[in-house]
A and B are shown apart, each in its own frame.
Chain A
Amino acid sequence: MTVTTNGKVGGGRVTNRLLDLVPAAPGPQSRKDFASDQEVRWCPGCGDYAILSTVQGFLPELGVARENIVFISGIGCSSRFPYYLQTYGMHSIHGRAPAIATGLATSRPDLSVWVITGDGDSLSIGGNHLLHALRRNVNIKILMFNNRIYGLTKGQYSPTSEIGKITKSTPHGSLDRPYNPTSLTLGAEATFVARSVDSDRQHLTSVLRAAAEHPGAAFVEIFQNCNIFNDGAFDTMKDRDTRDDVTLRLQHGQPLAFGADGSKAIRRGADGSLEVGAAGDAGVLVHDAHAVDPSQQFALSRLTGDTHGVTPIGVFRDVDVPSYDEELNAQIDRAKQRQGDGNLMSLVAGKETWTIS
């Protein structure tokens, strides 16, 4: 399937006005060009392998010079990701990757900057930076691998673990209410919010493409299976027999319908929240990812398997507003135009000097 954004159909070289500032690849690139020589060290069966493979497969399509791509990560299993890509990369510290990426992206508009993070890294220790990077609309693409567990520290509950989770640190069940990452980021007024699943290469590729085409901050939640500490967390969405009945594939401009036979649909309930009805019902909603007002997109983010029997994937929101980077660099250009390049010695001297002979 193909996700459409900004009226463009995916495929061919990805482009947007900010990506146009990044040098193009001199010729065709292949998946192999993006594999580093490092041995991949995730647990066998980890969902991260599938995501890595999909990203390596997608990057040639991005069409920019390999040396102008940078992946920055925090700490956690997912954050080893940059080591396995033959691009520039930084494996930084826990939770801070969006802040580091902000400095890089705003000072180097000729780079395509990606952040790799997990649910603990971005929503727990790094929650602050995630929200601020998104509200500022810095031109970075944040891929958040959500496995609803702490993997690298061997199995404590995470800020997206379901309530009552039995883990090493919560033998009597976890007490905290989890975050819904899409609700959270829509609440922060992110300009691009999407969700996909590790094992669905085609869908994940389409979401990556849409994120890359978005001129500004993009947040992509990727449901990722941790087969060691939280195995099967997303099984109903992956199982061929059940997935179509529990997954709502969002497509801009299309009715919000799902189900193996397309018989179910989303409509607005009496209290304004969304509910599941039949495809033929009056008032079946049409998805508008480009609506500036995020109300309906937020309402969609409230649909979950646990509460409504259905989980939306795809692009929730994709609105085009000026990015922090282009505004900052425009201020610099304007200052240079207005005042000319700065003259250091006249700056240092200032307006009030006196001379002693």
Chain B
Amino acid sequence: MSEQVREQARERETRRLDRVVVRFAGDSGDGMQLTGEQFTSETATFGNDLSTLPDFPAEIRAPAGSPAGVSGFQLHFSDHDILTPGDAPDVLVAMNPAALKAYLKDLPPGADLIVNTDAFTGGNLKKAGYTADPLTDGTVDKFRVHKVPLTSMTINAVNAADGVAGAVNKKEAERAKNMFALGLMSWLYHRPTTGTEEFLRQKFAKRPEIAEANVAAFRAGFNYGETTESFSVTYEVAPARMKAGTYRRISGNLALSYGLVAAGELTGLPVFLGSYPITPASDILHELSKHKQFGVRTFQAEDEIAGIGAALGASFGGSLGVTTTSGPGVALKSETIGLAVSLELPLVIVDIQRGGPSTGLPTKTEQSDLMQAMFGRNGEAPVPIIAPRSPSDCFDAAIEAARIATKYRTPVFILSDGYLANGSEPWLLPTRDQLPEIPIQLTTEPNHDDDFWPYLRDPQTLARPWAVPGTKGLEHRIGGLEKADGSGTISYDANNHDQMVRLRQAKIDGIAADIPPLEVDDASGSARVLVLGWGSTYGPIAAAVRRVRAKGLQVAQAHLRHLNPFPANTGEVLRSYDRVLVPEMNLGQLRTLVRAEFLVDAIGYNQVRGLPFKAAELAGVLEDVINQ
């Protein structure tokens, strides 16, 4: 359709798509995360299934205009259930040349590219590393480019708005340009808009003139879409057919926070969070600090060690002690985790994994703390490990961790990661009666004639009694020195130590009988290849499995939620396939564990690029393994 014809027609085509991937990108200060979040919110309200992937630099304000300072937000939404934030964007909104520079390589030919031409000036081009204007030198020829003077149109719109002109300065007006972009994208994809206007008025309630400036920019962006000729097509993505019920959108860190609050209610124990700020875990501290009406105590400690120390002290006193951190923090907490193993007190340790080693990639995702969680302590110090598979699953993982911690009097690891933490998806809300009750039995009576023996174990679970200070007659001392089996007094006896080491191990191993077996998705029953994953790779692996099956190939999928102990049937499952492929965002940590534990010659597929796997790429790997 030529420009002329289109103008005459004035009727645009509306194309129905089953799924779309959009990415907003701009400077760290451009409000791209907010824009993406709000577009996602509109999309959730509309009823699409969705998955998001924020991507931002570790620096709060990296040099403005540089590719290093680009902040991106990717959203995948669809009319059917989806599992990943999408491999490559269908649309890229680039607010400046740096955003174009950073992300153009991800864009497939023919994709829509919306650029803010006002930002493509000499200085900005130079900061982005362009020597010529990429909009005119052929760089973007392969794409459907929509050149939009976003900044100037935003300023004009704000200045023309009733009651706003004069009340906001030029800088404030210009800052609303992300809302212009949001308005345009909302128009392009037929998104509902009332929610965004309400959101803006609420967010800027204290400065109504800023709220109105943003609303004006948002509307201007929407109306620009209506009137411009740059877009020949708009898109519709019908609501997804999802299971009936009430949904909300949730990120992993929020779900984990709510899971911890829920765990407090389900156990009847007050939650005590001892934590030190660290990316990407801090949001859990922020969130829990808001919920004091639940009796949740949050303590921002002087360091990682004090964070877990305080949590353990609170556990000693009968709280549900929790500490939240990322890999470098776990390293610092190791000694206290060992103490918790020795004291046999409940404690939940949340590790939101990020790229390592050392400071590594603070804002990027990785699964490389599995070995640290398994073995990163002195002595034989087994700790159960649970890994959520999706953002909403973080809620259930927190409850499960609290269940195991309290029932077996042990520290428990939750291994989430940056992708789950910041990514979001729709969540079918559970009802109160779907949540498990977690009964806690505190010991209140002597258990050995008239004495209290703090290490006289329950014969079933091997858990020791938990008698909290304030319980009359049960005064006792515990510590990090080896204890005599039963009485708990200090013991340096060789046989006793051997016995205690084995008992602590047996207690954790025994949890295998108290967790669900490893489920295998092997619809045909004839697959010879099993793909085994853990944690946040569930989405990409499942998406790859679908693709492979759609081609008529057979593959079985299993995903581990419990990594220590493994479900009781794990070995049996692994041994019933010819080949086992273990994709991981590390260099093969789970693969090493299953090879050692089950003598299975598992094959690894490993990437540590700071980003989740792409479904298409994994599908290719799967096909190769199947066809070998």
Residues of A within 8 A of B (CB): 23, 36, 38, 65-70, 72, 75, 82-83, 85-93, 96, 99-108, 110-111, 128-129, 131-132, 328, 331-332, 334-336, 338-342, 344-345, 347-350, 352-357
Contact = CB atoms under 8 A, between A and B. Distances in A.
A83 B294 contact: no
B77 to A, nearest CB: 14
Contacts of B311: 103
Contacts of B481: 91
Nearest to A329: B297
A104 B317 contact: yes
Contacts of B293: 332, 335-336, 338-342
Contacts of A100: 309-310, 312-313, 316
Contacts of A88: 469, 475-477
Given A38-B489, A91-B477, A111 B309 contact: no
Contacts of B193: none
27 contacts: A67-B469, A89-B478, A90-B477, A93-B338, A99-B305, A102-B313, A103-B310, A103-B313, A103-B317, A104-B314, A104-B316, A107-B272, A108-B469, A111-B469, A128-B302, A328-B299, A335-B293, A336-B292, A336-B295, A340-B293, A342-B291, A347-B291, A348-B395, A348-B430, A354-B246, A354-B248, A357-B244
Interface in B119-177: none
B626 interface: no
A104 B549 CA distance: 54
Contact of B473 (A67, A90, A108): A67
Given A70-B317, A108-B318, 20 more contacts: A83-B490, A90-B313, A90-B478, A91-B478, A92-B480, A99-B302, A102-B299, A103-B310, A103-B314, A103-B321, A104-B314, A107-B297, A344-B262, A349-B246, A350-B248, A352-B195, A354-B248, A355-B245, A355-B247, A356-B245
Nearest to B270: A107
Contact of A103 (B243, B272, B335, B490): B272
Nearest to A111: B469
B274 interface: yes
Contacts of B98: none
Contact of B301 (A23, A82, A99): A99
B291 A129 contact: no
A344 B261 contact: yes
A356 B472 contact: no
Contacts of A75: 480
A329 to B, nearest CB: 8
A353 B475 contact: no
Contact of A99 (B41, B297, B306): B306
B292 A335 contact: yes
B336 A93 contact: yes
Contact of B247 (A128, A338, A353): A353
A30 to B, nearest CB: 15
Contacts of A340: 293
Contacts of B272: 103, 106-107
B95 to A, nearest CB: 26
A110 B478 contact: no
Contacts of A108: 317-318, 469-470
- Residue from B270, B469, B471, B478 with most neighbouring chain A CB atoms (10 Å): B469
B86 to A, nearest CB: 22
A352 B390 CA distance: 20
Nearest to B302: A132
B508 interface: no
Q: Which 4 A-B pairs have the closest CB atoms?
A: A91-B479, A103-B310, A103-B313, A99-B309
Contacts of A334: 292
A37 to B, nearest CB: 9
B562 interface: no
Contacts of A105: 313
Nearest to A325: B297
Given A344-B262, A345-B431, A67 B474 contact: yes
Contacts of B430: 348
Contacts of A341: 293-294
Contacts of A102: 299, 301, 306, 309-310, 313
- Residue from A72, A85, A88, A129 with most neighbouring chain B CB atoms (10 Å): A88
B47 interface: yes
Contacts of B229: none
Given A107-B314, A111-B469, A129 B309 contact: yes
Contact of A349 (B239, B242, B310, B429): B429
A83 B477 contact: yes
Given A99-B301, A111-B317, A352 B249 contact: yes
Contacts of B247: 353-356
B302 A107 contact: no
B306 A93 contact: no
A168 B315 CA distance: 40
Contacts of B294: 341-342, 344, 347
Nearest to B321: A103
Contacts of B243: 356
Contacts of A69: 469
Contacts of B480: 75, 91-93
Nearest to A131: B302
B305 A96 contact: yes
B118 interface: no
Interface in B293-340: 293-295, 297, 299, 301-303, 305-306, 309-319, 321, 335-336, 338-339
Contacts of B303: 128
